[in-house]
């Protein structure tokens, strides 16, 4: 993953080719090799801090966001700076504090509701869907609901079936919601700022395993006015042979797969979706019309997934450009196992993406030939 850029180079014995290849990798992703490094955790924290400073209507609430400074330290330092009226520790009642947040948004405030994990948002899904997502439409535009629901989403490590689900497809199927899924520090900072400023409810899906990853960020990204457009994907790596779409942690896997494929003469274009709803169909279809092949990658369940929607969009809009069947890589259609070896088998790995891209490019060896 690009997170390797955040790990210091070991002293001594480092060959020049490795340094050069890392610089080329960063440049290929549109980053400067001399840019400042920032973790995803710090990117989220700084975005919250700056938006709270800029707008007194912004406040954050959730379990342990104040005194404990957040279960993952995303809200570190905010209680001391803004006080308990704007950094609100809540009881363990997602339905209760989510309803309070929606009510506050009805009255013009801009709540940021933190779920310790999005699995717990199931306790509050009635407020997210029925109270937040539908109110603007049902009130003929009279009621805006400027609220952000944020927290870690998807699989972590060894936390079992009830704490490992990806909710991207769940929430992106609902009209009235916007659903964002950052990968890098630039994504986290720019998209969270955009979400807080947006007049509509936004579901902001982070990833626990990315919080500690470091990414290069430019001076533009560090500017307090910086934000990213909702509904626009980013081409992380340009290519000509196959399009690979991914979001959140899977973008890193897709980039690593692209490195492996490049060594075998396959040029992969990697698209970081960033926004799940609205989905940037034009960027995806334009890429497929160039490469003529598509591989979608996600951690969620296969049925009715984000990848299924992308495949449907490409078949509807760009079918005549396809030179191979579309390939979907997703989590297994089972509740997430607890055992580490089974858990690894339940989620996409880099080698799965490589194999799918090879199949799409007709570069895989038929099983009959290996018998």
User: What amino acid positions are annotated as catalytic residues?
Assistant: 94, 163
HSE (side-chain half, CA atoms, 13 Å) at 321: 20
Where are the extended beta strands (E) located within the chain?
A: 36-39, 58-62, 87-89, 110-114, 148-152, 178-180, 202-206, 214-217, 234-237, 242-246, 268-272, 275-277, 294-297, 327-329
CA distance readout (Å), 334 to 155, 162, 247, 342, 346:
13, 12, 21, 11, 8
In whole angstroms, what is the distance from residue 300 CA to residue 338 CA? 16
Task: Say if strands 214-217 and 36-39 run parallel, antiparallel, or are unpaired.
Answer: antiparallel
Helices H, strands E: what count in the chain? Answer: 15, 14
The contacts of residue 196 (CB under 8 Å, 6+ apart) are 47, 48, 51, 55, 58, 110, 112, 148
């Amino acid at each position: 993953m690009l997170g390797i850029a955040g790990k210091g180079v070991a002293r001594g014995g480092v060959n020049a080719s490795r340094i050069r290849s890392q610089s080329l990798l960063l440049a290929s992703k549109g980053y400067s090799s001399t840019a400042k490094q920032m973790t995803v955790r710090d990117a989220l924290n700084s975005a919250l801090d700056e938006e709270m400073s800029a707008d007194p209507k912004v406040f954050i609430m959730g379990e342990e966001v104040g005194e404990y400074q957040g279960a993952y330290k995303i809200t570190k330092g905010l209680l001391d700076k803004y006080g308990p009226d704007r950094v609100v520790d809540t009881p363990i009642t997602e339905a209760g504090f989510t309803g309070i947040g929606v009510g506050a948004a009805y009255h013009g405030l801009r709540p940021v509701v933190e779920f310790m994990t999005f699995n717990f948002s199931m306790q509050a899904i009635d407020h997210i869907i029925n109270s937040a997502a539908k109110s603007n439409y049902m009130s003929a535009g009279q009621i805006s609901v400027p609220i952000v629901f944020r927290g870690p989403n998807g699989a972590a490590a060894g936390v079992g079936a009830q704490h490992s689900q990806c909710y991207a497809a769940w929430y992106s199927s609902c009209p009235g919601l916007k659903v964002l899924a950052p990968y890098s520090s630039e994504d986290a900072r720019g998209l969270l700022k955009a979400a807080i400023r947006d007049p509509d409810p936004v579901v902001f899906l982070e990833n626990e395993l990315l919080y500690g990853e470091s990414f290069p960020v430019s001076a533009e990204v560090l500017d307090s006015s910086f934000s990213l457009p909702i509904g626009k994907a980013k081409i992380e790596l340009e290519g000509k042979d196959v399009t690979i779409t991914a979001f959140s942690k899977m973008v890193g896997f897709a980039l690593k797969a692209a490195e492996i494929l490049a060594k075998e003469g396959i040029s992969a274009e990697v698209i970081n979706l960033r926004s799940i709803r609205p989905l940037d169909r034009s960027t995806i279809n334009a890429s497929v019309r160039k490469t003529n092949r598509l591989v979608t990658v996600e951690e969620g369940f296969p049925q009715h997934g984000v990848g299924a929607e992308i495949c449907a969009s490409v078949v509807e809009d760009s079918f005549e450009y396809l030179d191979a069947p579309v390939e979907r890589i997703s989590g297994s259609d089972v509740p997430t196992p607890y055992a580490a070896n089974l858990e690894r088998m339940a989620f996409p790995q880099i080698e799965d993406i490589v194999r799918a891209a090879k199949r799409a490019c007709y570069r895989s060896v038929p099983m009959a030939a290996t018998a």
